[in-house]
Structure 1
């Protein structure tokens, strides 16, 4: 993982979703602590994705 390769951490995760109709949205979450833990990143990304209203659209 890039964070481990560069010995860095982050506290904001940004998820970008591109739909098949070329519409694009971004959602971000700032955690209260810096992390490079994969479990925390996956949990946060999953929560962001599940909160998106898909409205019968497919992802590109």
Structure 2
């Protein structure tokens, strides 16, 4: 993972979804702490993804 390779941390995760019709949706979440732990990043990314209505 790049965060571990560069010995850095982050506190904002941005999820970008691009559709085949070139429409895109972005969602971001700023955590109250800096992290590079994969479990926390995956949990936050899943929550962001699940908050998007993809029915259409």
- TM-score between the two structures when normalised by the length of structure 1: 0.89
| Corresponding pairs, count | 56
Q: Which whole-Å CA distance do the structure 1 matches of 2:26 and 2:2 have between them?
A: 21
User: Which segments of 5 or more consecutive residues in structure 2 lack a partner in the other structure?
Assistant: none
| 1:52 counterpart residue number | 52
- TM-score between the two structures when normalised by the length of structure 2: 0.95
Secondary structure of the corresponding residue to residue 29 of structure 2: strand
How many Å apart are 1:21 and its aligned residue?
A: 1.4
Higher relative contact order (CA 8 A, sep 6+): 1
Aligned CA-pair RMSD: 0.7
Give 4+ residue runs of structure 1 displaced > 2 Å after superposition: none
